[in-house]
């Protein structure tokens, strides 16, 4: 079976710094044409946002814990596909702002292939959201979806507290996010680019996101609860921000320690 190929961009020869080069040069993405930059345990798979719930599944014969979250696992492992690897924290593409995709580019074969690959990577991870920088592409594209099956891996109490409901696949180019109220909530999040860890993050409960869909047409979504959290998490990626940059102090932990008590001074989970 062919190994997964990493799609992280590689800079052309230059004397400027890595951070500057990340978004000033022309990159060759493997399997994509040149893009000029102008302006499981107990049968339960492990899920990660790209957000995470606090639900754990314990094997009767093992102390390991599988987490259901942003990306909920779907039963048996699917046949491996030749897809881009998920870029991990530390890669410059995750820590620098992405660039806009022009309306003229959206309909091109290369951009549509990037979107298709993002959806496949998100679903196979599995996850409920993904941003283009997470497969090494510094473009403002996000994809997200949450399904009844994903949600079924969490308890009814958790989904009610998180105001989590299923929604169909959404694709955004150049999303612009604004909060619709000042109400916030604290829940644990995870990220496919920071695999194996979780931390509490405070997010707005209601947001509006406007941008272009995969056909280049205007799209606007009013979101609340868990969907609003996913949108904020993914839009942060486009600004070069990871959830650990916004996490509540003293809440960072491994997946295995997710159920352990919070430090005494930490705020409680839930709506603020």
Q: Are 211 and 102 in contact (CB under 8 A)?
A: no
* Bridge partners for 95 per DSSP: none
Is residue 248 within 8 A of residue 200, CB to CB? The reply is yes
Tokens of 138: 């510094």
Strands 253-254 and 197-204: antiparallel
234 catalytic residue (yes or no): yes
**How many CB atoms are located within 10 Å of the residue 41 CB?**
17
Cβ–Cβ under 8 Å, residues 136 and 9: yes
Question: Cα–Cα distance between 267 and 109 in angstroms, integer?
Answer: 47
CA angle 253, 71, 144 (to 5 degrees): 120
Q: Which of 189, 206, 234, 256 is catalytic?
A: 234
**Catalytic center residues:** 234
């Amino acid at each position: 079976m062919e190994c997964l190929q990493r799609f992280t961009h590689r800079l052309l020869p230059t004397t400027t710094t890595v951070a500057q080069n990340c978004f000033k040069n022309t990159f060759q993405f493997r399997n994509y044409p040149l893009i000029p930059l102008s302006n499981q345990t107990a049968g339960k798979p492990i899920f990660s946002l790209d957000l995470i719930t606090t639900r754990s599944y314990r094997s009767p014969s093992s102390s390991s814990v599988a987490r259901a979250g942003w990306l909920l696992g779907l039963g048996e492992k699917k046949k491996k596909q030749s897809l881009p690897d998920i870029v991990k924290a530390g890669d410059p593409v995750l820590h620098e702002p992405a660039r806009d995709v022009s309306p003229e580019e959206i309909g091109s074969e290369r951009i549509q292939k990037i979107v298709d690959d993002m959806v496949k990577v998100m679903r196979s991870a599995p996850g409920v959201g993904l941003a283009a920088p997470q497969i090494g592409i510094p473009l403002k594209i996000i994809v997200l979806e949450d399904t009844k099956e994903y949600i079924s891996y969490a308890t009814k109490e958790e989904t009610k507290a998180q105001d989590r409901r299923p929604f169909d696949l959404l694709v955004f180019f150049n999303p612009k996010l604004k909060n619709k109220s000042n109400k916030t909530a604290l829940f644990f999040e995870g990220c496919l680019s920071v695999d194996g860890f979780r931390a509490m993050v405070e997010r707005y409960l209601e947001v509006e996101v406007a941008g272009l869909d995969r056909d280049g047409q205007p799209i606007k979504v009013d979101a609340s609860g868990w969907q609003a959290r996913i949108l904020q998490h993914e839009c942060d990626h486009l600004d070069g921000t990871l959830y650990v940059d916004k996490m509540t102090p003293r809440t960072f932990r491994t997946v295995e320690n997710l159920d352990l008590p919070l430090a005494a001074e930490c705020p409680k989970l839930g709506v603020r």
